[in-house]
């Protein structure tokens, strides 16, 4: 029997989506609203208890322009659970920006871009876990 060539194991969906979230967090910490919006599809929606819904990448960038004015190096976002089927994926992630800004969860749906392409966020819903939100 012919030996199969060594193949690096494929990255898990959780790891793939966490990489995208890590890009987002780095942009957020840098105050880069365009960088934050770049991880969303052009027709994405972002729903939040902190602002009115943003529809489309331009609106998401504008919203992040406000949010990132107060960005701190404390921003974190880590996946709790994730899954995928075909060209769609989802993640439930915990976010934190410290006591001054807020904490919560983010439930997001991702779309794979073109055959073999990376993931972008199509729908994101932020849910505060802070009292009174």
Which one, of 100, 97, 119, lies nearest residue 108 by Cα?
119
Q: Of 86, 111, 85, 107, give the one whose Cα is nearest residue 95.
A: 107
**CB 90 within 8 Å of CB 110:** yes
User: What are the tens digits of pLDDT across the range 75-125?
Assistant: 999 999 999 999 999 999 999 987 666 899 999 999 999 867 799 999 999
What integer best gives the mean pLDDT of the chain?
89
> pLDDT of 9-20, one tens digit each?
568 999 999 999
Per-residue pLDDT at 133:
52
pTM for the whole thing? 0.87
Q: In this structure, which topology does domain 11-126 adopt according to CATH?
A: Nuclear Transport Factor 2; Chain: A, (3.10.450)
How does DSSP classify residue 86?
T
DSSP 129: -
**Strand ranges (DSSP E) for 1-133?**
40-48, 51-55, 76-85, 88-96, 103-112, 119-128
Q: Could you state, in order of their start, the residue ranges of all structural domains in the chain?
A: 11-126
């Amino acid at each position: 029997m012919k030996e199969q060539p060594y193949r690096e194991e494929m990255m898990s969906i959780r790891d793939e989506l966490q990489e995208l979230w890590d890009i987002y967090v780095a942009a957020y910490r840098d105050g880069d609203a365009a960088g934050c919006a770049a991880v969303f599809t052009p027709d994405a929606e972002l729903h939040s208890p902190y602002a009115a819904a943003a529809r489309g990448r331009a609106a998401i960038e504008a919203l992040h322009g406000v949010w990132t004015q107060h960005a701190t190096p404390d921003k974190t976002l880590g996946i709790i659970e994730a899954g995928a089927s075909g060209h769609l994926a989802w993640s439930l992630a915990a976010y934190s920006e410290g006591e001054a800004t807020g904490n919560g969860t983010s439930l997001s749906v991702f779309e794979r871009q073109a055959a073999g392409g990376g993931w972008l966020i199509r729908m994101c819903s932020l849910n505060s876990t802070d009292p009174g939100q």
